[in-house]
Amino acid sequence: MTEPSKLPHHGVPEHQPAAGGIAARARASAAPQYLTGLNPEQRDAVETLDGPVLVLAGAGTGKTRVLTTRIAHILSQGRARPHEILSVTFTNKAAREMKLRLGQMLGQAVEGMPWLGTFHSIGGRILRIHAELVQLKSNFTVLDVDDQVRLLKQLLQAENIDDKRWPARMLAGLIDGWKNRGLTPSQVPAGEAAVFGNGKGGKLYASYQERLKILNAADFGDLLLENIRLFREHPDVLRQYQNRFKFILVDEYQDTNVAQYLWLRLLSQAASKPGVPLSAVIPGRIEDANPESRGNEDSSRDSGSGPSDHPGMTEDPLPASRAREQIAHPGLAPSSPLKNICCVGDDDQSIYGWRGAEVDNILRFEHDFPGAKVIRLERNYRSTGHILAAASHLIAHNEGRLGKTLRTEDVDGEKVTVTGSWDSEEEARAIGEEIEELQRAGENLNEVAILVRASFQMREFEDRFVTLGLPYRVIGGPRFYERAEIRDALAYLRVINSPADDLAFERIVNVPKRGLGDATVQMLHDHARKRRIPLFEAARAVVETDELKPKARGSLRDLILHFDRWRARREVTSHTELAEIVLDESGYTEMWQKDRSADAAGRLENLKELVRSMEEFENLQGFLEHISLVMDRDGGADDEAVSLMTLHSAKGLEFDNVFLPGWEEGLFPSQRTLDEQGRAGLEEERRLAHVGLTRARRRAKLYFATNRRIHGTWSTTIPSRFLDELPAPNVEITESKGGSGWGGSGGYGPSRFDNVESFGSSYTTPGWQRAQANRARNQNRNGPGRGGFEESQSSFQNSRNDTFSRNKRAPMVIEGELVAKSTGTASEFSLDDRVFHQKFGYGNVVKIDGNKLTIAFEKAGEKKVVDSFVERA
DNA sequence: CGAACCTTTGAGTTA
DNA sequence: CAAAGGTTCG
What is the distance between the alpha carbons of residues A661 and A434, in angstroms, rounded to a whole number?
13
- How far, CA to CA in Å, does A486 sit from each of A134, A588, A589, A735? 29, 11, 12, 45
Torsion of the alpha carbons at A12, A16, A19 and A24, rounded to the nearest 10: 30
pLDDT (mean) for A580-585: 91
Residues of A belonging to the active site: 63-64, 251-252, 349, 695
Q: Residue A872 in contact with residue A836, Cβ under 8 Å?
A: yes
Determine the Cα angle at A846 with ends A844 and A851, to 5°. 95
Strand, coil or helix: A218: strand
pLDDT, average across residues A3-19: 36
Calculated CA dihedral for residues A217, A220, A223, A229, nearest 10 degrees: -90
Q: Is the pLDDT of residue A84 over 90?
A: yes
Q: In what order do the strands lie in the sheet with A870-872?
A: A861-866, A852-857, A841-849, A834-837, A870-872
* Degrees, nearest 5: CA angle A239-A230-A71: 55
Q: What is the mean pLDDT of residues A361-366?
A: 87
A505 CA to B13 C1', in Å? Answer: 31
Question: From start to end of A368-471, where are the E strands?
Answer: 373-377, 379-380, 407-408, 416-423, 448-452
Distance CA A421, CA A460 (A): 14
How far apart, in whole angstroms, are the C-alpha atoms of residue A376 and residue A402?
10
Where is pLDDT greater, at A751 or A437? A437
A37 Rama sector, left if φ>0, alpha if ψ -120 to 50, beta otherwise: left
Quickly state the pLDDT bin for A782 (edges 50, 70, 90): very low
Question: Which one-letter amino acid corresponds to residue A442?
Answer: G
The whole-angstrom separation of Cα A622 and Cα A645 is 31
Helix or strand (DSSP H, E) at A857: strand A852-857
Q: Is A163 helix (H, G, I), strand (E, B) or coil?
A: coil
Question: At A85, phi and psi to the nearest 5?
Answer: -110, 125
pLDDT at A154: 84
- At A377, give phi and psi (nearest 5°): -105, 115
Q: How long is the CA A167 to C1' B8 vector, in angstroms? A: 16
Quickly state the pLDDT bin for A697 (edges 50, 70, 90). very high
Residue A496: how many CA atoms within 13 Å on its side-chain side?
Answer: 29
Which residue did the predictor score with more confidence, A613 or A59?
A59
Q: Which range is least confidently modeled, A622-626, A685-689, A839-843?
A: A839-843
Residues A123-150, mean pLDDT to the nearest whole number: 89
Which residues on adjacent β-strands are paired with residue A53?
Answer: A342, A373
Is strand C in 7 Å reach of the CB of A803?
no
Asked if the model's pLDDT at residue A1 lies above 60, the reply is no
Res A637: pLDDT: 53
Q: Is the dihedral of CA A14, A18, A19, A25 positive or negative?
A: positive
For B11, which residue's CA is nearest its C1'? A711
Residues with Cβ < 8 Å from A851, sequence gap 6 or more? Answer: A469, A821, A822, A823, A824, A825, A827, A866, A867, A868
Q: Which of the four pLDDT bands, split at 50, 70 and 90, describes residue A27? A: very low
Q: A165: Cβ under 7 Å from strand C?
A: no
pLDDT given for residue A277 in this prediction: 44
Distance CA A171, CA A177 (A): 10
Task: Give A790's pLDDT tier (boundaries 50, 70, 90).
Answer: very low
pLDDT > 50? residue A427: yes
Q: Is the CB of A620 under 7 A from strand B?
A: no
- Phi–psi pair at A59, nearest 5 degrees: -60, 135
**CA-based nearest residue to A53, from A263, A248, A330:** A248
CA-to-C1' span, A514 to C8 (A): 22
- Positions 117-136 of A with beta carbon below 7 A from strand B are 118-120
Average pLDDT over residues A116-132: 93
CA to C1' distance (Å), from A477 to B8: 26
- Helix/strand/coil for A230: helix
How confident is the model over A688-709, as a mean pLDDT? 95
Q: Which nucleotides on strand B sit less than 7 A from a protein beta carbon?
A: 1-3, 10-15
C-alpha to C-alpha distance for A862 and A873, rounded to whole angstroms: 17
Share of chain A above pLDDT 70, in %: 74
Say what the pLDDT of residue A769 is.
Answer: 40
* pLDDT, position A838: 66
The answer to whether A629 and A124 have CB atoms below 8 angstroms apart is yes
CB A142 within 8 A of CB A215: no
Which span out of A179-183, A269-273, A589-593 was modeled with the highest average pLDDT?
A179-183
Percent of chain A with pLDDT over 90: 38
A750 prior amide bond cis, ω within 30: no
More confident residue, A783 or A450: A450
What is the CB neighbour count within 10 angstroms for residue A266?
21
Phi, psi of A590 (to 5 degrees): -60, -40
SS3 A508: helix
> What band does A221 get if pLDDT is binned at 50, 70 and 90?
very high
Q: What span, in angstroms and rounded, lies between the C-alpha atoms of A35 and A736?
A: 47
Task: Give the angle subtended at the CA of A16 by the CAs of A10 and A19, to the nearest 5°.
Answer: 105
Q: In the predicted model, is pLDDT for residue A459 greater than 80?
A: yes
Beta bridge mates, A472 = A642
Which pLDDT value is given to residue A805?
A: 28
Q: Cα–Cα–Cα angle for A64, A361, A370, nearest 5°?
A: 95
- pLDDT score of A696 more than 80: yes
Chain Cα centroid distance, residue A320: 27
- pLDDT value at residue A21: 42
Between A158 and A98, where is the model more confident? A98
Would the Cβ of A800 be found within 7 angstroms of any atom in strand C?
no
Q: Name which of A194, A195, A247 is nearest A88 in CA terms.
A: A247
pLDDT at A762: 31
Which range is most confident: A167-171, A506-510, A721-725, A841-845?
A721-725
Whether residue A366 contacts residue A4, with contact meaning beta carbons closer than 8 Å, is answered with no
DSSP string, A796-828: TTTTT-HHHHHHHHGGGS-HHHHTTT---SPPS
| A798 nearest nt, CA–C1' | C1
Strand C positions closer than 7 A to protein CB: 1-2, 6
State residue A779's pLDDT score: 35
pLDDT at A294 over 90: no
The dihedral sign for the CA sequence A252, A258, A262, A263: negative
d(CA A227, CA A750): 63
> Does the structure show a pLDDT above 90 at A724?
yes
Residue A512: predicted pLDDT: 85
**What was the pLDDT predicted at A170?**
87
pLDDT for res A786? 33
A291 CA, C8 C1': Å apart: 62
For residues A262 and A608, which has the higher predicted lDDT (pLDDT)?
A262
Amino acid at A224: L
Give pLDDT, residue A807. Answer: 26
- Tell me the mean pLDDT in the region A6-14: 35
Query: Please, what is the average pLDDT of chain A?
Result: 76
Phi/psi for A151 (5° steps) reads -65, -45
Q: Which helix (H) or strand (E) holds A461?
A: helix A458-468
Residue A211 one-letter amino acid? R
Of the candidates A221, A256, A197, which has an alpha carbon nearest to the alpha carbon of residue A145?
A221
Check pLDDT > 60 for residue A153: yes
Task: Output the pLDDT for position A108.
Answer: 62
pLDDT at residue A508 greater than cutoff 80: yes
Residue numbers in A 391-450, CB below 7 Å of strand C: none
pLDDT for residue A330 is more than 70: no
